[in-house]
Structure 1
């Protein structure tokens, strides 16, 4: 199971540490946070104890209104479960009692420094945790964002993946990763493509060497990550192997249980592979909008036949 630490959270969101400075290496293994409102009033049937606990104005104001003894009981009931940490989004004023409990139970107590509501803060933390804790694999290939869509280019070594990526960058599209592509499963329907940090911004071209696309072509040539929409396999040209149907049967490649639409493009000298990839990306987009060129063409044929029969 993947995990990050409380310290990662502190650095990512510039949180202030009020207690548990020596406990920041505690692991976080759950990708959603929790607001313990029901737990403060005594309902623990579905308390997700392994999640980061967020205390907003509602929770803090409720605690402030309790008597000393009642507050001690309510907070004690929760810290007893030792969640990874508490994050307070309502400021640190009047939190001496909570700090005391966290020190006693060795639980990090953190406070946001930025001025934002709890409802604004929670989605940011959730998104960060989902991404960081997502199951991931690394594959050999190239990942690009073409016309706003994530594209995976795969194929045998030397087939021309990086050269094709370079051409696409020259046409205004963006590199995400070359050689090693890290795929993260964010949901049962979503695969995110990114780099492995070491190869960030680099593109390796045979006979040329290693290029830094940002240094050469500017920030617009690179993107940190992209949602994978299409998987394209580049293969060597085989005579008579390509078909010319009006519309190809849907093919898919599966990554961590998520099916990604897949097509094969054969390479031949003089063939505009980058243009074909652009066409594939734009055609995929139109299909998502419910449009099919083949269906429109056939409807025209049927309409023409109907007109001929009426004459």
Structure 2
């Protein structure tokens, strides 16, 4: 996980710096921005001081309504906790008193033209991804018809070649060789690249290709939510299971369970087509449909 600083926030959202220029190296360790409301009236029992403090129209209008002594008291109570930074939205003005305190306490005071709700959504999303627990695994990540899939297997088994076939069929590459997995929530696993391998796919006997240059911008996607873990393995006679519905299996990544499927490889077998079938089958199961259940119902209706 790469550390996030106030400077990163400034660059990401083109924020104006009003105070605290020398403290932009301050780390941001929490993923949710906070709007100090109760704190302005003196309640600090659960003040999340490590969060970015967001000052919208309500907060600034309230401060403007106070007398100078009251305003100095309320602002003084907050800045002594030294949050990483304050961000004022909607390009609000009349902030001399706030600038004064932030300069004295060396707390970055920033400003954006964005609305409070829009900026809060954007900064929360950015921080949740940037600060998420992450691991890197060997494999390939693809998006098949909007469904994020991990392709795993031993080196040389054919992961990248399968991904290439999927790309030619209109699906998208996310990462090849090194896949970065980020735990965005207790149930959400995000797959992305490590930056260096972005858009690149390594094919044996061919070498590196840039999928965006070769097949167009639609051939690549920066990230995707992972919902299927598919392991490609070498063909083993009598090892395939032809049950109507296989017992569900899962792989754990940072305590998130992802449905696991094994696909065995054999010359002439349409592996990319099987990956597409697995993706579409997963989608139908999310809609409550099971082909095995429908088949059994047909058998039962024939016997009645």
Q: TM over 0.5: same fold?
A: yes
C-alpha displacement of 1:171: 0.2
C-alpha displacement of 1:2: 5.5
1:96 paired to 2:91: no
Contact 1:141 1:154 survives alignment (8 Å): yes
Query: In structure 1, what is the equivalent of residue 164 of structure 2?
Result: 166
Query: In structure 1, what is the equivalent of residue 302 of structure 2?
Result: 304
Q: Distance in 2 between matches of 1:82 and 1:91?
A: 23
Query: In structure 1, what is the equivalent of residue 173 of structure 2?
Result: 175
Work out which of the residue numbers 280, 285, 288 in structure 1 matches 2:286: 288
Q: Distance in 1 between matches of 2:290 and 2:277?
A: 13
1:125-274 to 2 correspondence within 5 Å?
125-274=123-272
C-alpha displacement of 1:117: 2.1
User: Which consecutive segments of 4 or more residues in structure 1 shift more than 4 A?
Assistant: none
Structure 1: which 5+ residue stretches go unaligned?
Answer: 307-311
Q: State the number of aligned residues.
A: 304
1:121 paired to 2:108: no
Q: Distance in 2 between matches of 1:142 and 1:281?
A: 15
Q: Distance in 1 between matches of 2:24 and 2:92?
A: 19
C-alpha displacement of 1:3: 2.9
1:49 paired to 2:49: yes
Q: What RMSD, in angstroms, separates the aligned Cα atoms of the two structures?
A: 0.8
C-alpha displacement of 1:256: 0.3
Q: Distance in 1 between matches of 2:60 and 2:92?
A: 10
Q: Distance in 1 between matches of 2:301 and 2:227?
A: 34
Q: TM-score, normalising length from structure 1?
A: 0.97
Q: Distance in 1 between matches of 2:66 and 2:79?
A: 17
Query: In structure 2, what is the equivalent of residue 59 of structure 1?
Result: 59
C-alpha displacement of 1:19: 0.4
Q: TM-score, normalising length from structure 2?
A: 0.99
